Structures are given as structure tokens and as C-alpha cells.
Amino acid sequence: MPQCLTCKSNYEPFISFGKMPIANGFLTPDQFDDEYFFEMKVGFCANCKMVQLANQPDRERMFHQNYAFFSSTSSRMALHFKEFADSIKQKYLPSADAFVVEIGSNDGIMLQNFAEKGIAHLGIEPSANVAKVAIQKGIKTTSEFFDEELAGKIVVDHGKADAILAANVMCHIPCLHSVAAGVKILLKPEGVLAFEDPYLGDIIEKTSYDQIYDEHAFYFSLESVSHLFEQYGLEVVDTIHQNVHGGSMRYVIAHKGKKEISPEVQKLREKEKRFGLQSPKTFELLCENIKISRDKLLAVLTDLKSQGKRIVGYAATSKSTTVTNYCGITPDLVEFISDTTPIKQGKFSPGVHIPVKPYEEFCSNYPDYALLFGWNHAEEIMANEQEFVKSGGKWIVYVPEVGIVDKV
Ligand code: SAM
């Protein structure tokens, strides 16, 4: 039985997705034979309420100098991070001589909003290629993994932080105790940690099982986050639901007793209880719903293909790796995946090896159907792709329901 990564209790995984490759491991044919796979199982720890991967590849396999995810490819996310930065400045950084640290700062999409205002900042970004893009934009970045040791070094070199920010990265770090201990050291007495990640409640409600992949070691709820940080004298003082990445939660955390606790925290705590986020039964049901979703999607694709229709994948997201591998979606069902990220183009998708082609190939010869792997950006994508629909094209979606649509 696996041991909980945060409280060490034993738990039984509630689902296995079978063998999975590295979600962002887009590859060339000469790499097919050596492709790395691991068994992707997910479990719920009844003791500390943490939902987590039972095993995860080594971090260096996922985050390195060829990391394929560049945050700034989405204009919607650029706007989201500007709003995130503005709200932190307004609420928590009254003086201009503040120091802000971001964990997992990627290509600088969030920190650019502090840099351009002359606010002292430091990005922590282990994937060297994306860190380089941030540095070229003038954003101070160090290419390292954040942990307790690094937090101590930052304090010595730069002093303590007024705000520590993190988006879509806390859930990536298996050694969360080291992160929490690092936050405790690095944060000024009145400082805040504000981080957001895909929210477990949304994953369950929408059966968005494609949020589950190698990089996401954890699927957080308020309960599991509180349980962890309380062990370090830190507490959740606010929670704000975010309508990005299919539903995320922003947690604001401070040293215990230092900030007033928003009523939103208690409201969310009660909502999680009503919704059964701490009940093993909820995860049994999730497992059933995931299997139903997989079977329906495969049936739709197989049926369209038997009618001779052309299907192309839209956006070679990390999430698409879970869907394609779990459902068995191979190049005989999906001709290619269209993507605008140069590092992915000309390569093949992890595991099932669907070719990834430049976006121009999608536009120059529209398929009958586009399988929307980037469903979390559906509004932005569909608004941009009206010509595809005018040409008679339709979208295949699978979150929250499997279906064929021409708009959201
Ligand atoms: N924050 C950006 C966003 O929301 O678009 C990037 C999110 S990306 C999914 C996760 C980022 O965290 C990657 O750039 C990865 O290299 C970085 N990362 C992974 N482990 C980390 C760690 N231990 N410390 C700091 N960054 C880490």
C-alpha cells in the first residue's frame, strides 16, 4: 500500500490509469524505443484528506532544459496573472519597497507585472529554457527547485519576502513539507503566500480527469492544504475560486494569528463537507464517472472515423497525454494535433505518438471535427476559430460531458 506523501498514512489508490508517459514529453521517432512510462495511480488519504499520485517520475525527467510548457502562449492567462499581481499589490503590498518571490515563475508571465513597476522580485524556475526567456525579458530568475534549503539562501542573499506567489506549481512538488518549511523561513511576519492550483472540487464535479498527470502530484482541497500548512504555524486566511484551468482555487496563507481570516474560508470548509470531498465514496464515484467518460469519448471518435470523417486534435496540452493514453486514442483516430508551440511542432505526442503539427496545417485544410484538448481555454479558442465552424467544422468536447458542439 502506498504511503501518503504528506502524513505518511497508508492508503489504497482508487484508480489506475495504466502505463503513462511524461505528459510534456513530446518526442521524435528515434526516442520512441526509450520512452519512459510509469503506472499512474491516484489515491485519497483518509487521514489528511490529500488526493495524490501514488508514484511519480523523478522531477528531473519532467522539468529540464527542454520543458515544453511556456505560460505566455495564452493571452488569457497573461491577463489572469496581471489581475493576480494587481490584487496582491493592492491588498498586501502597501509600500513600494516590497520583495516578491514566485515559485515556478516559468517565462515570467506573472513577475513581469512586478518588474515593470520596479518592485524587487525573484523567480524560482528549474526548467532552464523557460527561465532563460524570463531573464531575457529582464525578470530576475534563478534556475533551481524551491525547497527549504533554497529559501534559507534567498533570505541570506535578498532578505525575507512580503509575498510569495505560486501558480500551478505547488501541486507539482512531492516534498511539500520542505516547501512549507521554506515558506515559513522566507515569509516576513506580515507577509503572505498566495498560490493557486486546479481545485479538487472542480475535478470531481466536471470529471476532468485529464488534470491528473505526472506533474500533478497533488489535487488540493482547503482541508488538505490547511492540514499541511498548520503544521508549520501557517494558516489559510482567504480562498478565492478562479475560473481558469477548468476551475482553480487560490489559497492565501499567512503566519498564524497575523491576518484576519476571511469568511470565505469557513464557507468553503462547509461546502467541501457537503460535497463529500472528505469521503472515500466520492472517489469511488469519480472512478466510475471517469470510466464512463472514457468509453463515451472512444465511442464518438470510433463512430465518426467509421463514417470516414477527419478528426484533428486541437492543442497538444499536457492534459491531452492522459486522455489519449487512457482512452487509447491513436493516430488512426486522430490524424494530428495542431499546436502553436514551436518546441512541440514536428514531434509526436507522448505514448500514443500522434504527430504534432503547426497550427497553420489546421487552418489550411480544416478537418470535419476538432477534438478540443485545450478545453480549459474553450471560450478563447472558439471565439478565434469561427472560420473553422463556418467551414462546417464541429468541436468534440469531453469536459464536463462528452459531446459534439459548435460553440461553448
Ligand atoms: N506558474 C506558471 C503558470 O501558471 O503558467 C507555470 C506553471 S508550470 C505548469 C509549472 C512550473 O513550475 C514549471 O515551469 C516548472 O519548471 C516549475 N517547477 C516545477 N517544480 C518546481 C519547484 N520545485 N520549484 C520551483 N518551480 C518548479
213 lines ligand 1 (CB under 6 A): no
81 lines ligand 1 (CB under 6 A): no
Based on the domain organization, do 152 and 76 belong to the same domain?
yes
Q: Provide the residue range defining the domain that includes 361.
A: 282-405
Residue with CA nearest ligand 1 atom 21: 145
126 lines ligand 1 (CB under 6 A): yes
Residue with CA nearest ligand 1 atom 18: 104
Phi, psi of 82 (to 5 degrees): -65, -45
Residue 307, domain member (yes or no)? yes
Q: Is the pLDDT of residue 288 over 80?
A: yes
Residue 361, domain member (yes or no)? yes
To test ligand 1's pocket by mutation, which of 5, 67, 172, 377 has the most ligand atoms within 8 angstroms of CB? 172
- From 258, 275, 292, the end of a domain falls on 275
Please tell me the predicted confidence (pLDDT) of residue 204: 98
Convert the pLDDT of each residue in 382-403 to its tens digit.
Answer: 999 999 999 999 999 999 999 9
Interacting residues of 42 by C-beta distance below 8 A, sequence separation 6+: 13, 14, 15, 17, 51, 52, 53, 54, 212, 219
Convert the pLDDT of each residue in 173-182 to its tens digit.
Answer: 999 999 999 9
Helical packing angle, 176-186 and 222-230, nearest 10°? 60
Which atom in ligand 1 lies closest to the alpha carbon of residue 77?
5
Which CATH number belongs to the domain containing residue 294 in this structure? Answer: 3.40.50.720
Measured distance CA(144)–CA(291) in Å, rounded: 38
Convert the pLDDT of each residue in 4-45 to its tens digit.
Answer: 999 999 999 999 999 999 999 999 999 999 999 999 999 999
Which CATH number belongs to the domain containing residue 177 in this structure? Answer: 3.40.50.150
Which atom in ligand 1 lies closest to the alpha carbon of residue 71?
5
Based on the domain organization, do 215 and 248 belong to the same domain?
yes
- Report the DSSP pairing between strands 161-167 and 99-103: parallel
Query: Taking a C-beta distance cutoff of 8 angstroms, is the pair 107, 133 a contact?
Result: yes
Based on the domain organization, do 80 and 193 belong to the same domain?
yes
Based on the domain organization, do 124 and 262 belong to the same domain?
yes
Based on the domain organization, do 107 and 80 belong to the same domain?
yes
Helical packing angle, 280-306 and 318-327, nearest 10°? 80
Based on the domain organization, do 77 and 98 belong to the same domain?
yes
* Mean pLDDT across 283-306: 98
Ligand 1 centroid to 129 CA: how many Å? 12
Q: Is the pLDDT of residue 68 over 80?
A: no
Please tell me the predicted confidence (pLDDT) of residue 187: 98
Q: Give the single-character DSSP code of 258.
A: S
Please tell me the predicted confidence (pLDDT) of residue 95: 82
Residue 49, domain member (yes or no)? no
133 lines ligand 1 (CB under 6 A): no
Based on the domain organization, do 270 and 288 belong to the same domain?
no
Measured distance CA(386)–CA(381) in Å, rounded: 9
318 lines ligand 1 (CB under 6 A): no
Ligand 1 centroid to 62 CA: how many Å? 10
To test ligand 1's pocket by mutation, which of 24, 106, 186, 216 has the most ligand atoms within 8 angstroms of CB? 106
Which CA distances in Å does 397 have to 51, 210, 313, 367? 26, 12, 11, 15
Band (pLDDT 50/70/90 cuts) for residue 59 is confident
Residue 9, domain member (yes or no)? no
Band (pLDDT 50/70/90 cuts) for residue 58 is confident
Interacting residues of 83 by C-beta distance below 8 A, sequence separation 6+: none
Measured distance CA(382)–CA(84) in Å, rounded: 25
How many CA atoms, within 13 angstroms, populate the side-chain half-sphere of residue 212? 30
Q: How far is CA 177 from the centre of its chain?
A: 20
- Report the DSSP pairing between strands 13-21 and 37-44: antiparallel
Please tell me the predicted confidence (pLDDT) of residue 228: 97
Based on the domain organization, do 333 and 270 belong to the same domain?
no
Among 2-11, 226-235, 399-408, the minimum mean pLDDT is found in 399-408
Based on the domain organization, do 252 and 289 belong to the same domain?
no
Residue in this structure with the C-alpha cell 470510433, named with its chain if needed: 302
Band (pLDDT 50/70/90 cuts) for residue 375 is very high
Residue with CA nearest ligand 1 atom 17: 104
Convert the pLDDT of each residue in 194-207 to its tens digit.
Answer: 999 999 999 999 99
Please tell me the predicted confidence (pLDDT) of residue 74: 84
Percent of the chain scoring above 90 in pLDDT: 92
- In degrees, rounded to 5, the angle at the alpha carbon of residue 249 between the alpha carbons of residues 248 and 250 is 125
Based on the domain organization, do 238 and 115 belong to the same domain?
yes
Ligand 1 centroid to 367 CA: how many Å? 34
Query: Taking a C-beta distance cutoff of 8 angstroms, is the pair 168, 213 a contact?
Result: no
Ligand 1 centroid to 168 CA: how many Å? 7
Q: Is the pLDDT of residue 60 over 90?
A: no
Residue 3, domain member (yes or no)? no
- From 275, 305, 325, the end of a domain falls on 275
Mean of the per-residue pLDDT values of the chain: 96
Ligand 1 centroid to 134 CA: how many Å? 13
The cell numbers describing 149, all together, are: 534549503
Query: Taking a C-beta distance cutoff of 8 angstroms, is the pair 99, 161 a contact?
Result: yes
Convert the pLDDT of each residue in 124-137 to its tens digit.
Answer: 999 999 999 999 99
14 lines ligand 1 (CB under 6 A): no
Which CA distances in Å does 361 have to 237, 374, 386? 48, 17, 16
Residue 54, domain member (yes or no)? no
* Mean pLDDT across 254-276: 98
- From 243, 275, 307, the end of a domain falls on 275
Nearest by Cα to 75 from 294, 310, 345, 377: 377
Residue 79, domain member (yes or no)? yes
Based on the domain organization, do 302 and 255 belong to the same domain?
no
End-to-end CA distance of the chain: 42
Band (pLDDT 50/70/90 cuts) for residue 356 is very high
Measured distance CA(58)–CA(395) in Å, rounded: 36
172 lines ligand 1 (CB under 6 A): yes
Based on the domain organization, do 151 and 201 belong to the same domain?
yes
Which atom in ligand 1 lies closest to the alpha carbon of residue 63?
16
63 lines ligand 1 (CB under 6 A): yes
70 lines ligand 1 (CB under 6 A): no
Q: Is the pLDDT of residue 96 over 80?
A: no
The number of folded domains in the chain is 2
Ligand 1 centroid to 132 CA: how many Å? 14
* Mean pLDDT across 288-299: 98
Task: Name the residue type at position 18.
Answer: G
Residue 259, domain member (yes or no)? yes
3-state secondary structure string, 211-225?
A: HCCCCCCEEECHHHH
Using a 10 angstrom Cβ sphere, with 0-12 exposed, 13-18 middle and 19 or more buried, the burial of residue 364 is exposed
